[in-house]
Structure 1
């Protein structure tokens, strides 16, 4: 995919959805951090169901610490890997209080030092909570980047670096959300809805799927 096509791709994303947002529900950087921690190998819908019950009861590091690991599990037990996630959330809350005054740090190194927080989670928090032009490459973004030819790469790190290089700067802040939504609802893993795609003429994917035949 050449620079002109990339520019056009993001022009179209912006025209269709000028202010894209994450589908995770949150009101503070801390709520976002915990939601992203819980979202690994889980759906945003599943995480939102859990946090809608949890956050009215505990939505600060101290409140979740006061809740305790066992009680926290009862709120998130519908989410995959909930036992490990509960342990990480408690440890993260403790570290936020001890090292950061209970606030979520606006710093990659400090974020990645938190239990259960890797590069992808740090990128989501920096981008969504603090407005940094970071690129969190999840399974949807990895697939869309490779399938369309936007930023092909063998692993998430290569794709991340290529996206940061190839996405026109004016679109970098929102690119993460557009690409996730595109992968989730149109450029799906098993059967992409190419017939319903605004980017079909720009996309390098050779196996474009035809529209399903109506009954």
Structure 2
């Protein structure tokens, strides 16, 4: 998979870009967990989400936020990281102007950034939020949430209490015009360790394929 360097708001950003042969393939970006707690684009959840989307026929980009790996800049409390994600989507769209659909996927901190990007970019037609940190960050900006998507977390998550995710989902369920699908992986921790990773990726695969089929009818 080709390594790419593309311009970000604070200098270059480092990514991994995995194109399809089809020029009108859907596109997806995958966002990594918190930069100050070891989060990188090579995190196992991010890596597996990346390949899940690629195997479903998406052209996919994952990248390091500012200050991570070879990406320039410094951690910016999520504000700059949102700008990085927007720059990544710009780069992906410029390379794929004929893409049929655009999705965003994020894990933990990346899920929070992804949901903010969703609010700013109406072309995003679906999202995956894995273990969104509803206990740490304010998600009230999702008013209303503009797209349907999947929120997925583990029942044994000790970083983000399942009850906090349930509360976020409950608020989103009150909104009209979108469908929020919520799946809880029984026994899984925050990082979907061991066999839980395959279960989580299987759920994502099933959800995204169903959405794509619905959109082509």
Q: Which has the higher contact order (CA 8 A, sep 6+)?
A: 1
**Higher strand fraction (1 or 2):** 2
Hey, which of these two has a bigger chunk of helix by percent? 1
**Fold similarity call, TM over 0.5:** no
The structure with the larger Rg is 1
- Normalised by the length of structure 1, the TM-score is 0.26
Give me the TM-score of the superposition, normalised by structure 2: 0.26
